[in-house]
Structure 1
């Protein structure tokens, strides 16, 4: 007998849009949500902002230069290879050969908050997915206004979304501060009712177990 029938859950995912493990995590989570729905657990996902590189110049940096300074180039290549391998298993397609810049993600996070406020979980989810694909698969600079506007239109947002999103700067700062106050210092991290239920991407079964456990504690 299924004891979780007709449960609904609001899951918040703290993520940065240039984090490879957040992209991998989204692909795994998407598959887990299908399993959970069959088990009677409906999950409403909200993406929360986190900047891995908050001091990144607004125009971004040359990717090789940035990653060489931060990790050392050989270490960075090894990190990329691990992401490519893990992504292949869940349908996250990484094309690092197409990337030339590491962007500042503040504008992309503002756009994500606009999507949440204008269209709820479904619109935000489409946008976030397209931003991951734009950056990791297509090699686009998601700090660029023109790129963001095209992604927003593809997601189904009305024109001039980037301009409208500029008013969400304070909200992004507040939400990111809230995550830091909870002790979150890495992404992806997953919250239910303001409580951390999972840190880091996991397997599809891992998502199902963690979210099912959280559902048992929600009244």
Structure 2
């Protein structure tokens, strides 16, 4: 008899490009999965990103700083907003991410989500998500305008003209809305949110060890169930 081939664990991640905890969560997930990948019987994992808009009413060109946005959005003072940004920046540094809230361009993220769906069709979803988050939080890039998004798409190896066509036509908007409807069905009201194999929910930017542990646990359960079936 040959070795049992176990189907990959599916991790579905709901996140927003403009969510600082989502980028931290993405990086911690990657670190946790990399740690588990060193196991003798390493879990096989397939990660898919899904759309979630934290602030869908944000204009494409928000006038003001990150502190202005937070103060308006959360009903807090600019000083409180500055302290929030400082705290999340410190946690981001621990994940190896150097946030530049002084450069951030707050914008509407629906087009960025459409672009991620386009990238998914071409096998570049993870790369596109990473590029968008890095542009937004680290480089002070604009992720709301079609011209800027086309440039970022080209950087990860996607066809710029094709990207422009789908963004201008709203081709992937239904896919974005479908992700959002699924989030509501799951009862997700904050991101990042990780759904493992459609049955385990993990909320928030957990440390890498937590992601490694859940991957190992689910993989072990899979192996045990298959062994019992084979027996």
Task: Work out whether 1:81 is the aligned partner of 2:86.
Answer: yes
Q: Distance in 2 between matches of 1:7 and 1:174?
A: 25
- Deviation at 1:130? 0.8
* RMSD over aligned Cα atoms: 1.9
**What residue is the counterpart of 2:149 in the other structure?**
148
Structure 1 195/61 Cα, relative in aligned 2: closer, same or farther at 3 Å?
Answer: farther
Gaps of 5+ in 2: 226-231
- Deviation at 1:97? 1.6
Q: Distance in 2 between matches of 1:185 and 1:28?
A: 21
Asked whether the 8 Å contact 2:109–2:144 carries over to 1, the reply is yes
- Deviation at 1:86? 0.7
Task: Work out whether 1:170 is the aligned partner of 2:164.
Answer: no
Structure 1 7/91 Cα, relative in aligned 2: closer, same or farther at 3 Å?
Answer: farther
Task: Work out whether 1:93 is the aligned partner of 2:98.
Answer: yes
**What residue is the counterpart of 1:210 in the other structure?**
214
Which of 42, 45, 50 is the aligned partner of 1:43? Answer: 45
Gaps of 5+ in 1: none
**What residue is the counterpart of 2:159 in the other structure?**
158
DSSP-derived class of the 2:195 partner: strand
* Aligned pairs for 1:83-122 within 5 A: 83-99=88-104, 101-119=105-123
**What residue is the counterpart of 2:131 in the other structure?**
130
Q: Distance in 1 between matches of 2:206 and 2:194?
A: 11
Structure 1 145/81 Cα, relative in aligned 2: closer, same or farther at 3 Å?
Answer: same
Runs of 4+ in 1 over 4 A off after TM superposition: none
Q: Distance in 2 between matches of 1:202 and 1:104?
A: 26
**What residue is the counterpart of 2:14 in the other structure?**
14
Between structures 1 and 2, the one with greater strand share = 1
Which of 61, 64, 70 is the aligned partner of 1:67? Answer: 70
Which digits, 9 at most, give the CA deviation of each residue in 1:26-58, with x for residues without a partner?
Answer: 111111121122221121111100000022224
DSSP-derived class of the 1:12 partner: strand
**What residue is the counterpart of 2:140 in the other structure?**
139
Aligned residues: 212
**What residue is the counterpart of 2:205 in the other structure?**
201
Asked whether the 8 Å contact 1:14–1:50 carries over to 2, the reply is yes
Bigger Rg, which one? 2
Asked whether the 8 Å contact 2:61–2:106 carries over to 1, the reply is no
Which digits, 9 at most, give the CA deviation of each residue in 1:109-143, with x for residues without a partner?
Answer: 00001111121xxx111111111110000111211
**What residue is the counterpart of 2:229 in the other structure?**
none
- Deviation at 1:6? 5.7
Q: Distance in 2 between matches of 1:163 and 1:74?
A: 42
